Amino acid sequence: MIETDRDNSFDPKCVQGNILRGYHYARVRHLVLEVVNAALARRWLSQATDGSGAAPAITTEEEWLIKPASCFNLGFTYDGLKALGVPNASLASFAPEFKAGIARRAVKINDVGESAPENWASPFDTPDRVHIIASVYAEELEELDRVERQVADGLGGDGFAILGRHDGWNFDTDHVHFGYRDSMSQPRFVGVHDSDSYPDKQPLVPIGSMLIGYPTEYQNIRYAVPQPDALGRDGAFNAFRILKQDCAAFERYLDMAADSLLDDQLGEELLPVGDEAKFGPDTSRHAALREIIAAKMCGRWRNGVPLELSPDTPCPPEPVSPTDYDYGDDVRCPFGSHMRRCNPRGSTIVQRAARHTRRLVRRGYPYGGRYDPGKPDDEERGLLGNFICASLAGQFEAMMCDWLNLGLQDPRITGSNDPLLGANEAETSWFAIPLKSGRVIKLRGFPRFVTVRGGAYTFLASIPAIRYIANLER
Amino acid sequence: MAERDMARHLVDAVIADSPDHKRGTRPAHTIGIGVKGHFRASPVARDWCVAEHFCGREVEASVRFSNSSGSPVQHDGWSDARGMATRFHLSGGGATDLLAMTLREFFSATPEDFLAFAQAAIPRPVEPPRPWRKIADMLRLFPPLPDPYPGQRTSSVGGSMAYSGLHSASQLAAFDASFLGAPVSYARATYNAVHTFIVTAPDGTERYVRFFWQPAAGVEMVNPDLPPIDNYLQAELRDRIANWPVEFLLLMTVGEMGDPLTDPTKAWPLHRMRINMGTLCLTEVPDDQQAHCEQLAFNPGRLTDGIAMSDDPVLIARKAAYELSRELRGGAACPFDAV
Amino acid sequence: MSVRRRMNQLVPRRASLNDLVNSMSKSRLFGWLAGHVLVPYWARKTPVHKQPGGARATVQPGDNVQRMMNLILPLKDKTAVGRAKAAMAIASNLDEIYAGLDNVGTVHFARFVIIENNMCMISCYDGDFSNYIRDFVAQLGTVFDSVIALIEDGEAMIPTRDNIDTFINWVHDRDVYQIPDTATELLHYGTIGQPAVKSGEVADLRLIARALILQLHANPNALLGSGYRGYPGISAARIRDKMGFGW
């Protein structure tokens, strides 16, 4: 194979639109489809690729002049490809972790205990029936309903059974449960126009880290293209995850940790007496400590300001960029914080060979009503997450098993899990907050705040690939 | 079930497992030998646990080695678990105990299960397996059932095996028990404290840990192909202590996320972080064994500041059962939680 | 002579029959019978799943550091010339290999051993197996290919960097099966089509012995348990950090 380093010659018309850019709609609906009649399902797919017939047209990477009322994209599981009649030789050419499916990789990504697949909610408790995740993005519920009807009626209704419907919405612009502002930065790609362009100290990502068939961040490695090329090229893989967030437990833990740091020497170093004022007028010491702990655990203040650029206050006197930084020592942003673990940026890491190789496109929408700490309730809430990459094993799973959990990338955090998303148990969890003096606050006793309720490894096939599937004859 | 009632049931069940049990003796681990010595903490022990005996000063120790049977008849050479109960004597007349055995895990995860297990393990008459049965087993690639020891009329092995066949929690202990053998010396076996305890470090950090004793002389078992000798362990220990240093290393393994913290039927992997907590040096077998051995009543729940019980239900039940057993046989009292 | 007495002479008394059976179990004849007849018979009658090689996936940090890899790669050329070629392929690329292992960052020890016309790569590493192999291949580029070219069934993998997933699988298949530390886990392997022990059924713990035999029939090479560690639970980088070597 001839290596052309800057080969990113993909055609935007051929690539699904939810991979390289964010749509920024207020709402999403993920429909879980089972193929019940492969021939009809294939005919419906054919309509979706060319916008003919009743099926909603699949949104591509092509630039638009006027933003459409909704966007529509499809992810296929391995069982889905099989159900649609993809030949065995093609199926065999997919990466092993995709063939296994997310449920069989559960231990590797620490989906254990309450998060184990046997405890997942319907329809993810029958993973072999989860064939397609069809995602609709729109501003209004009515539009989601309209597109859903396009899936449920006509050919679609006969080809598929809708097993599940998962709605997400931005209840407060970019804020997610636990109160953090999210969705501020995504990888930017070599040679791809970025409509959200913002400054960022991270190197541009070769397109092959997201789209299959192009050079990757590893100088020597391309991820294999599932065969034939028409099926595999220009696709991407996605880890779709339903992540339940225990807001009450999180807020309770912040209270507890802040309590333990009141009247404590280390607490005084963390928040010198008088610095409460930096958090706003009338902010109590307890409230300020809670915010510091929340920020240290995440790597950002809850309002989105990065700790690296504003270590002492969420409201720096001069505005700071939410994205344009690299990490320095751990006094500003702890090595173990969620963001730094999942993407160490330019920091030194143990696995030097793997630097910058585990980037992911993350697109998430909260689900469930906004949590009101004054009125705790039993409603389930969390995040519907898409974690997109060219290799689930090389990027998503590698990040999950060695970095988010275990913490191999830095010897000072090895043996601990991500404080926000990690598979923690109160008996053994720990999180270190280094202080300027060299002393360290070690927080312990936090439970697993985020539980997995379901998910699927899907293939975000290219438009030609969906046409290829649509044209398969049994 | 009230704690006291459960303790009563447990003691009765253990006594029932030894039909020739003599009133006034220990219901299990009846035959043993008391030894005196001292324990010296390692230099790092204090970093992990604030308990007095881990903080540098050498403390006196009383140890009782035993065979696990509740029968008054001694069979040193039979394959069985051995016990090593240690009392660390602390300042002000206080004490803390550590009870360990050669088996790496317990048979049951709850006291209720243990009652059922003990019921199943009531000794039944044994005969050598029939030769045709052995041949059939060999043809199935099963190890043939062993012959009873010469003179052995009853055994609890069949009952406990049958029970563990149906109760997966007991399987590991039952399987490991079949390989126990007999040590050449009480001082040449590894003893596991099995239950999880919570130790507190100077900075207040609490850790879930398990302890085990490792013999400095190494582990050695008798040749199982030779006829078993009924009475040698006590004489061997006296001779050894008179002529050789007898030392045990106290090792502490630290539990991790995902480890069974409160289930004594599950041994932790051998590659958990392992801390050298100190060395026990045994120096003397007291002549007055009645006072230094039989009168002592050890209890896995007798702890001191810096070591606490985990929520292991068997450990909790053992605390009450050992105390009741002590009362029943008139052992010397040692108040709990002397603080 | 009465029939009864004659029978007594022909059929040994039970005690001595027992002795005979006991000695039979240790006899060379039975050993041969077991290994050459009984094992193949049971392996066909109750076939077991060949368990995958390498360290198992677990969540405990202590299980995820200091994991053992034992690759056995059969040399194509099973003469001294072939073995020498293999030795030279390593020796002439030491810089590449050492720099690669340093940059992977998670390796405690690694060594290459030739045993019985196999190139054995043995290492102790932290973290996930496929991450380790992927990073290593990315570092070594073509050097790895020159080694793999000497191995049976290796050619299809070359160039390894263009077949990274397939190659990781290929290597994983050649990583020696690791017998679990907890013997009773063998009970759950089961035979193809059914578990060894159905729920509610009485498990004869002696099944463990047969499960082990049949697994070692399917997997002739094995690592016995997870192996001893002198300083368990610590990553390579943590040791370098604590010793002041820098990582």
Nearest-by-Cβ selection for C138 from A1, A219, A397 = A219
Instruction: Say if residue C9 is in the same domain as residue C94.
Output: no
Predicted pLDDT of residue B314: 97
Cβ distance B38 to B59 under 8 Å?
A: yes
> What residues of C are in contact with residue A412 (Cβ under 8 Å)?
241
The alpha-carbon gap from B181 to the nearest alpha carbon of chain A, in Å, equals 36
Positions of chain B with pLDDT under 70: 1, 333-339
* B292: DSSP letter: I
Q: Is A115 on the interface with B (CB under 8 A)?
A: no
Predicted pLDDT of residue C6: 53
Q: What is the mean pLDDT of chain C?
A: 89
Predicted pLDDT of residue A200: 87
Chains that touch B (3 or more CB pairs under 8 A): A, C
Instruction: Say if residue C66 is in the same domain as residue C40.
Output: no
User: How do residues C96-134 score in pLDDT, each as one tens digit?
Assistant: 999 999 999 999 999 999 999 999 999 999 999 999 999
Instruction: Say if residue A104 is in the same domain as residue A45.
Output: yes
Instruction: Say if residue C68 is in the same domain as residue C153.
Output: yes
The count of structural domains within chain C is 2
Q: Is C137 on the interface with A (CB under 8 A)?
A: yes
Strand order across the beta sheet in which A236-245 lies:
A160-169, A27-35, A132-138, A70-76, A450-460, A236-245, A382-389, A361-367
CA distance A393 to A78: 15
Beta-carbon separation of C164 and A221 below 8 A = yes
Chain A residues bordering chain C (beta-carbon distance below 8 Å): 1, 95-96, 107-108, 110, 112, 218-224, 349-354, 357, 391, 393-394, 397-398, 401-402, 405-406, 408, 410-412, 414-416, 423
Residue C190, domain member (yes or no): no
Q: Is C138 on the interface with A (CB under 8 A)?
A: yes
In chain C, residues 200-219 whose CB comes closer than 8 Å to chain A: none
User: How do residues B51-95 score in pLDDT, each as one tens digit?
Assistant: 999 998 999 999 999 999 998 999 999 999 999 999 999 999 999
Rg (chain B; Cα; Å): 20
Q: Mutating which of B175, B208, B210, B214 best tests the C interface, going by the most C Cβ atoms within 10 A?
A: B175
> What residues of B are in contact with residue C38 (Cβ under 8 Å)?
139, 141
- Give the DSSP letter string of A371-426: P-TTS------EEEEEEEES-IIIIIIHIIIIIISS-TTSTTTTT---TTTS---T
> Which domain range does residue C35 map to?
3-45
Q: Which residue of A has its CA nearest to B272?
A: A415
Positions of chain A with pLDDT under 70: 1-8, 195-196, 474
CA distance A205 to A218: 11
CA distance A103 to A128: 10
User: How do residues B255-300 score in pLDDT, each as one tens digit?
Assistant: 999 899 999 999 999 899 999 999 999 999 999 999 888 888 999 9
H or E stretch at B124 = strand B124-125
Instruction: Say if residue A237 is in the same domain as residue A252.
Output: no
Instruction: Say if residue A288 is in the same domain as residue A239.
Output: no
b/e for A22-60, b at 16 or more Cβ within 10 A? ebebebbbbbbbbbeebebbbbbbbbbbeeeeebbbbbb
CA distance A215 to B330: 80
Q: Is A439 on the interface with B (CB under 8 A)?
A: no
Predicted pLDDT of residue A3: 42
Instruction: Say if residue C84 is in the same domain as residue C166.
Output: yes
Residue C225, domain member (yes or no): no
A347: its two tokens:
């920091």
Instruction: Say if residue C14 is in the same domain as residue C40.
Output: yes
b/e for B116-127, b at 16 or more Cβ within 10 A? bbbebbebeebe
Residue given tokens 């700071």 in the structure block = A320
CA distances from residue A448 to A298, A445, B171 in whole angstroms, order as listed = 15, 10, 31
Q: Is A424 on the interface with B (CB under 8 A)?
A: yes
Instruction: Say if residue C122 is in the same domain as residue C166.
Output: yes
Beta-carbon separation of C165 and A411 below 8 A = no
User: Quick check: helix, strand or coil at residue C124?
Assistant: strand
Size of interface A-B (CB pairs under 8 A): 21
Domain containing residue C138: CATH number: 3.30.70.100
Write the single-letter amino acid at A70: S
Chains that touch A (3 or more CB pairs under 8 A): B, C
Give the angle A237-A366-A403 at the CA atoms, nearest 5°. 50
Nearest-by-Cβ selection for B269 from C42, C63, C187 = C63
Residue C101, domain member (yes or no): yes
B259: its two tokens:
């480890």
The alpha-carbon gap from B14 to the nearest alpha carbon of chain C, in Å, equals 24
Instruction: Say if residue C9 is in the same domain as residue C75.
Output: no
Chain B residues bordering chain A (beta-carbon distance below 8 Å): 203, 205-206, 208, 255-259, 261
Residue ranges covered by each domain of chain B: 3-121+156-329
Q: Which residue of C has its CA nearest to A348?
A: C247
Cβ distance A132 to C152 under 8 Å?
A: no
Nearest-by-Cβ selection for A408 from C62, C106, C164 = C106
Beta-carbon separation of B259 and C60 below 8 A = yes
Instruction: Say if residue C139 is in the same domain as residue C34.
Output: no
The alpha-carbon gap from B129 to the nearest alpha carbon of chain C, in Å, equals 8
The count of structural domains within chain A is 2
CA distance B307 to B305: 6
Residue C242, domain member (yes or no): no
Instruction: Say if residue C39 is in the same domain as residue C68.
Output: no
CA distance A64 to A12: 11
Report how far Cα A102 is from the mean position of its chain's Cα atoms: 14
Instruction: Say if residue A256 is in the same domain as residue A286.
Output: yes
Instruction: Say if residue C17 is in the same domain as residue C115.
Output: no
Task: Give the closest residue to B186 by CA, choosing from B31, B24, B10, B20.
Answer: B31
> Which domain range does residue A291 map to?
246-357+391-451
Nearest-by-Cβ selection for C38 from B141, B144, B267 = B141
Write the single-letter amino acid at B55: C
CA dihedral A237, A157, A14, A229 (to 10 degrees): 60
> What residues of C are in contact with residue A394 (Cβ under 8 Å)?
130-131, 134, 164
Beta-carbon separation of A1 and C162 below 8 A = yes
CA distance A388 to A384: 13
Residue A4, domain member (yes or no): no
Instruction: Say if residue A236 is in the same domain as residue A272.
Output: no
Phi-psi label, residue A346: left if phi above 0, alpha if psi -120 to 50, beta otherwise: alpha
Beta-carbon separation of A424 and B257 below 8 A = yes
Residue C90, domain member (yes or no): yes
Instruction: Say if residue A408 is in the same domain as residue A420.
Output: yes
Is the confidence at residue C14, as pLDDT, over 70? no
User: Which residues make beta-bridge pairs with B191?
Assistant: B213
> What residues of C are in contact with residue A398 (Cβ under 8 Å)?
128, 130-131, 134
Predicted pLDDT of residue C1: 44
Helices (H), C75-203: 80-91, 94-104, 129-140, 142-148, 164-173
Instruction: Say if residue A32 is in the same domain as residue A165.
Output: yes
Instruction: Say if residue A98 is in the same domain as residue A186.
Output: yes
B331: its two tokens:
């052992």
CA distance A163 to A240: 16
The residue from C162, C178, C194 where one domain ends is: C178
Cβ distance A429 to A416 under 8 Å?
A: yes
Provide φ and ψ at A438, rounded to 5°: 95, -15
Predicted pLDDT of residue A242: 98
Write the single-letter amino acid at B285: V
CA distance A110 to B276: 31
Cβ distance A17 to A71 under 8 Å?
A: yes
Residue A154, domain member (yes or no): yes
Beta-carbon separation of A415 and C165 below 8 A = no
How many C-beta neighbours within 10 Å does residue C210 have?
23
Instruction: Say if residue A235 is in the same domain as residue A351.
Output: no
Instruction: Say if residue C25 is in the same domain as residue C95.
Output: no
Q: What is the mean pLDDT of chain A?
A: 93
User: What is the CATH number assigned to the segment(s) B3-121+156-329?
Assistant: 2.40.180.10
Q: Is C23 on the interface with A (CB under 8 A)?
A: no
Rounded-to-5 percentages of helix, strand, coil across chain C: 50, 15, 35
Q: Is C52 on the interface with A (CB under 8 A)?
A: no
Residue C32, domain member (yes or no): yes
Is C153 or A192 the better-scoring residue by pLDDT? C153
CA distance C246 to C238: 9
CA distance B324 to B322: 5
Predicted pLDDT of residue A309: 96
> What residues of C are in contact with residue B276 (Cβ under 8 Å)?
none
Nearest-by-Cβ selection for A417 from B205, B206, B257 = B257
Is the confidence at residue C199, as pLDDT, over 70? no
Contacts of A262 (CB under 8 A, 6+ apart): A285, A286, A289
Instruction: Say if residue A133 is in the same domain as residue A36.
Output: yes
Instruction: Say if residue A136 is in the same domain as residue A206.
Output: yes
Task: Give the closest residue to A112 by CA, choosing from B268, C57, C55.
Answer: C57
Write the single-letter amino acid at B129: P
CA distance A63 to A76: 24
CA distance B135 to A277: 85
Instruction: Say if residue C85 is in the same domain as residue C145.
Output: yes
Instruction: Say if residue A170 is in the same domain as residue A287.
Output: no
A276: its two tokens:
């409460």
Residue C211, domain member (yes or no): no
Beta-carbon separation of B257 and A112 below 8 A = no
Report how far Cα A400 is from the mean position of its chain's Cα atoms: 11
Predicted pLDDT of residue B331: 77
How many C-beta neighbours within 10 Å does residue B186 have?
28
